[in-house]
Amino acid sequence: MEGVLSYNNQEHHHQEQQQQPKIKKNKNIKLGLLLLNCLLLSVGQVGGPLLLRLYYLHGGQRKWLTSWLQTAAFPILLIPLFASWSNKSRSQSSTNSNPSSTKQKFLLNPKLFIASAILGTLIGLDSFLFALGLSYLPVSTSALLMATQLAFTSVFALLLVKQKFTPYSINSVVLLTLGSIILGLHTSGDRPVGVSNGQYFLGFFMTLGAAALLGFILPSVEFAYAKACKVITYDLVIQMQFLVSMFATLLCTIAMIINKDFQAISREAKEYGLGEAKYYMVLIGAAILMQSMLVGNLGVIFCSTSLFSGVLLALLLPVQQIFAIIFFNEKFNAEKGMSLALSFWGFASYFYGEYKQTKKNNKLIISMTTHQHQEFPNVV
């Protein structure tokens, strides 16, 4: 008996040793994916709205066109999708493994398909609200209203995915919200020229609506992943991103057709302040960057949580202002500096909380494994 136990112990130890590098490798892959998605989200969220603003600044007026641009670059997702498919079929043919699984290219079940359609329609609507706000409001007011986005995300994350809050994450939400409010409170760049009272208030409520809607969408994505009844892989996430963007683009395309926006593009290009070629470059650049933002967003939620994605978006608000200072010669003032400092502090607080939690979880796993190993040496 003792021999069997010690044999099983040895075997268990051997398997544990074998699994450890695998677990570590998976952890590293997930960390790499998280960093990549943070980068995609950051580049898109800073650059995309700046290019949309550049479109409005030099004569662009089409709201549904700018909404459409926020998701229309979704066909570029076919590149990673085809790369992954061909990679899989190559590795399967080389190992001669189950050929039927090669056919399983479409990973979404009906539940996820419906979720993607609903989320896509909501994102299309959010894009319109966001685009309208961007055209009627000064940057400062827009930032002030966008400050509420993280609060909305936190509340919906609590309701939908039972997000656990720690003193660090609460501190982070408060600091980041405060940072964005300070950003909005400076009154220098008030109502843009040519914007009427009515348009100003429309922009105000539309931006608030966009903040609330995205605050709802982010935890809903996490909710959809959790309720999918399926293991969520990154391949599946890209397929979902493709569908979500496709449905959002469909909504905006219908609105553009009704509004006769497609016919207006060439006319607008000819009259654009920076010239025709730059007009198209701005549109294409905005579309690619906004797609990058969406892909990064859904990816960050997959690797982490919707709350983290909301925290990152809030941090990027003052960073966007810094880039506006660099590229649009906007003024830098004390409020912008203070907002940036508070946002970095909030972000650092969130990270420290996560770091402490991960350390605690790791300790718990180690002590549980050792305990289980001592109590049930035969259990692998």
Ligand X SMILES: Nc1nc2[nH]cnc2c(=O)[nH]1
Q: Interface residues with ligand X (CB under 6 A)?
A: 45, 49, 70, 126, 130, 146, 149, 210-211, 214, 293, 313
- Is the distance from CB of 156 to CB of 122 less than 8 angstroms? no
Cα separation of 62 and 66, whole Å?
7
CA distances from 179 to 79, 108, 134, 172, 377 (A): 38, 39, 20, 10, 53
Residue 49, SS3 per DSSP: helix
CA distances from 166 to 57, 231, 353 (A): 42, 28, 7
**Minimum gap (Å) between residue 215 Cβ and ligand X:** 8
> CB-wise, 236 or 314, nearer to ligand X?
314
Cα separation of 164 and 2, whole Å?
45
Q: Any long-range contacts for 258-266 (C-beta under 8 Å, 24+ apart)?
A: 259/62, 259/64, 261/62, 261/64, 261/65, 261/68, 264/62, 264/65, 265/62, 265/65
**Minimum gap (Å) between residue 152 Cβ and ligand X:** 9
**Minimum gap (Å) between residue 374 Cβ and ligand X:** 51
In single-letter form, the type of residue at position 254 comes to I
Cα separation of 336 and 315, whole Å?
12
Cα separation of 261 and 65, whole Å?
7
**Minimum gap (Å) between residue 84 Cβ and ligand X:** 26
**Minimum gap (Å) between residue 50 Cβ and ligand X:** 11
> CB-wise, 211 or 252, nearer to ligand X?
211
> CB-wise, 77 or 289, nearer to ligand X?
289
**Minimum gap (Å) between residue 354 Cβ and ligand X:** 22
Q: Which residues fall within 8 angstroms of residue 312, CB to CB, at 6 or more apart?
A: 38, 41, 42, 300, 347
**Minimum gap (Å) between residue 143 Cβ and ligand X:** 10
> CB-wise, 126 or 222, nearer to ligand X?
126
**Minimum gap (Å) between residue 319 Cβ and ligand X:** 12
Cα separation of 81 and 64, whole Å?
28
Quickly list DSSP for 330-345: PPP-HHHHHHHHHHHH
Among residues 333, 311, 314, 310, which one has the least CA distance to residue 322? Answer: 333
Torsion of CA 14, 15, 17, 22, to 10 degrees: 160
> CB-wise, 309 or 349, nearer to ligand X?
309
- C-alpha triplet 262, 266, 269: angle, nearest 5°: 120
Cα separation of 190 and 359, whole Å?
47
> CB-wise, 269 or 283, nearer to ligand X?
283
> CB-wise, 52 or 161, nearer to ligand X?
52
**Minimum gap (Å) between residue 296 Cβ and ligand X:** 11
**Minimum gap (Å) between residue 149 Cβ and ligand X:** 6
> CB-wise, 214 or 342, nearer to ligand X?
214
> CB-wise, 45 or 171, nearer to ligand X?
45
> CB-wise, 70 or 239, nearer to ligand X?
70
